[in-house]
Amino acid sequence: MNDRITIEDIKQIAPFSQGSTEIFLTGLWSSRKPVHIDKTSPCRHACPIGNDIARAFYEASMGHYDEALRIFRQDNPLPGVCGRVCYHPCEVLCNRKEYDEAVNIRGFERFLADNGKVDIGREKPAHLRKERVAIIGSGPAGLSASYHLTRLGFSVTIFEALPEPGGMLRYGIPEYRLPKDILDREIGYIRDLGVEIRTGARVGKDLPLTDMRNDYQALFLALGAHGGTELGIKGEHLPGIMDGVTYLRTINLGKKVRLGKKVAVIGGGNTAIDCARTARRSGAKDITIIYRRSRTEMPALAEDVEGTEKEGIKIELLAAPRRLISENGKLSGIECVRMRLGEPDASGRPRPIPVEGSEFLVSVDSVISATGQAPQTEFLKELGLLVDKNSVIEISCETAATNIEGIFAGGDSAGTRAFVADAIASGKQGALAISCYLDGIDIKKAFKNHQIGDQPSFSFQHLLDPEHYPADLKKVVPYNKINTLCFPHGARHDNPDNLTPKEAVKNFKEVAGGIDPSQMPFEIYRCFKCGTCTHCDLCFLLCPDISIMKGKDGYSVRTDFCKGCSQCATTCPRNVIEMGEGSGGRK
């Protein structure tokens, strides 16, 4: 299956003359000539990492799966992780969504990561640099910074407090959503590239930060947010209550946590959902999630919330805990109050307001509080590094720089949106900032040259290989510029579940499966590949003046014969051709 168009297809798409223009006394004339210019797809524009998704789909449409994976890896060293747990903003803005259903981009990324071959030799830098950079923390932000800095030629060491690298990807997100062998494989490639990872090394305790400043030319802090936050209600310190990140970390370290039969989880984010599903798999029978807003405002992914309910976990919406109740010194219940939604608060979501007199009791043996996490940044104060009242490291959002020269920060500990893709993006930004700092280049200018649209994301692909990937990153293709006549309607191929909910709760095996390889070509075909020339030949075949020429490097325009009728531009399926003043051709 490929995107090549036949004469028969064309007859269906557009009025197509096969005669000669010699019968006309005058033809159409215009000084505007077609220019082939690759642009930016809306999915790429929406992706915090800036993955060149349309080009990867194009390569895959020709069966080049390894090349498609390489395109993802030019900006993202963790496609197998993102292909499983990313919140896929790319799909929300997919042009195909306007036509029938969004393309399963996350499923495609996972498919490539699981089936494509990585050639680390091609990712290695051409020149090595003498400067050494230390990264503290091996979560997605630290891993991403290490990968991109190494590709830029720097020598990088990661220091990690926990026994294994990965941060929340290993010690937060459970195995049933992100199997550890997938994470190990992708961290393995980062090591193969040359990054040194020292685990069991807590900076500030095992290693003084001041020593590191002397040994390395730049530091990137990617500490995450591993401290639980308090509920701030009476009874909070009773036995039987623990915070969500500690609970998940303990389980992911392979230790046991004794929970009662009746468990309440407070919160509506990923941590709350994962705590509830982990408790279910660990033997708790009666689990209730208590969330103070409605389902629409739950920060967890909709599909994960759905999965939770299928596994028999109750969700008590518009309710908040008021106090924890004990009997004989043992936790026995939570008094909750009903909430209603008011005007939006600082987060933009409707403010939950208690409905007085609506108190009710939930009987419990254990409570897991998952209402937020805080960075553990106390030790940074020894250097005079500024952190805010929530312990978040203060950085300039344009340069990722802290108040101390040569120290940069990113990810959850620096207040980035608490998602994997955003952490990876902030690691990329940190890498660019550090390389500009060490080279004495203005980062704002460097960023602008490779910025994607008007987003805070930029392209390493474009930075490292501009000749190979000359797309105009500022021009984003809207839906109304897609020639939908070229695309048959077709249903989306979703990832199937590997297990029924009944089977799933008995173990920690991965629940979501990959798209079947026999189905993948159909999903690849569904992608419009907005803004990417797929050499479909429509311009070549439809030109009434036979002015579009086909060569081994793509198309060129014979401007002596082109009358500027713009047939090619209007019919181009992917909005790759523009009519411009000048000599035409390819940009």
Query: To the nearest 5 percent, what fractions of the chain are helix, strand and coil?
Result: 35, 20, 45
**Closest distance to ligand FAD from the beta carbon of 347 (Å):** 16
Residues in contact with ligand FAD, shown as a per-residue x/- string from 402 to 441 under the rule CB under 6 A = ---------xxx----xxxx-x------------------
* Contact between residue 354 and residue 338 where contact means Cβ atoms under 8 Å apart: yes
Q: Which residues pair with 220 in a beta bridge?
A: 135, 408
Cα 453–chain centre separation: 17
DSSP string, 23-70: G-SS----SEEEEE---B-HHHHH-TT---HHHHHHHHHTT-HHHHHH
Beta carbon nearer to ligand FAD, 270 or 429: 270
DSSP tag of 296: G
Q: Does 46 bind ligand FAD (CB under 6 A)?
A: no
**Closest distance to ligand FAD from the beta carbon of 169 (Å):** 6
- 3-class state of residue 124 by DSSP: coil
**Closest distance to ligand FAD from the beta carbon of 241 (Å):** 18
Q: Does 167 bind ligand FAD (CB under 6 A)?
A: yes
Chosen residue from 95, 138, 566, 567 binding ligand FAD by CB under 6 A: 138
Amino acid identity, residue 48?
Answer: P
Q: Does 223 bind ligand FAD (CB under 6 A)?
A: yes
Neighbours of 110 (CB within 10 A): 25
Beta carbon nearer to ligand FAD, 431 or 536: 431
| Distance of alpha carbon 421 from alpha carbon 52, whole angstroms | 14
| Distance of alpha carbon 351 from alpha carbon 349, whole angstroms | 6
The CA-based angle 472-478-482, given to 5 degrees, is 100
Q: Does 48 bind ligand FAD (CB under 6 A)?
A: no
Least Cα distance to 123 among 160, 157, 84, 79 occurs for: 79
Beta carbon nearer to ligand FAD, 34 or 430: 430
**Closest distance to ligand FAD from the beta carbon of 336 (Å):** 23
**Closest distance to ligand FAD from the beta carbon of 411 (Å):** 2
Chosen residue from 5, 53, 54, 85 binding ligand FAD by CB under 6 A: 85
Q: Show the beta-strand stretches assigned E in 102-153.
A: 132-136
Residues in contact with ligand FAD, shown as a per-residue x/- string from 442 to 471 under the rule CB under 6 A = ------------------------------
**Closest distance to ligand FAD from the beta carbon of 206 (Å):** 8
Q: Does 140 bind ligand FAD (CB under 6 A)?
A: yes
* Contact between residue 352 and residue 317 where contact means Cβ atoms under 8 Å apart: no
Chosen residue from 53, 71, 168, 195 binding ligand FAD by CB under 6 A: 168
* Contact between residue 530 and residue 575 where contact means Cβ atoms under 8 Å apart: yes
Instruction: Classify strands 32-36 and 585-586 as parallel, antiparallel or unpaired.
Output: parallel
Side-chain half-sphere exposure of 5, counting CA atoms within 13 A: 24
Locus of tokens 């460097």 = 446
Q: Does 86 bind ligand FAD (CB under 6 A)?
A: yes
**Closest distance to ligand FAD from the beta carbon of 170 (Å):** 8
**Closest distance to ligand FAD from the beta carbon of 125 (Å):** 23
Residues 338-397 that bind ligand FAD (CB under 6 A): 376
Sole window of 50-58, 155-163, 260-268, 320-328 interacting with ligand FAD (rule: CB under 6 A): 155-163
Residues 264-293 that bind ligand FAD (CB under 6 A): 270-271, 274
- 3-class state of residue 398 by DSSP: coil
User: Which tokens go with 259?
Assistant: 């929970």
**Closest distance to ligand FAD from the beta carbon of 129 (Å):** 24
Q: What is the dihedral of CA 44, 47, 48, 51, to 10 degrees?
A: -50
Beta carbon nearer to ligand FAD, 3 or 164: 164
Beta carbon nearer to ligand FAD, 3 or 175: 175
CA-to-CA separations, 511 to 112, 179, 500, in angstroms, rounded = 19, 10, 8
**Closest distance to ligand FAD from the beta carbon of 266 (Å):** 14
Q: Does 136 bind ligand FAD (CB under 6 A)?
A: yes
Structural Rg of the chain based on CA atoms: 27
Beta carbon nearer to ligand FAD, 214 or 518: 214
Residues that bind ligand FAD (CB under 6 A): 85-87, 136-142, 159-162, 167-169, 172-173, 202-204, 222-224, 226, 245, 248, 270-271, 274, 376, 411-413, 418-421, 423
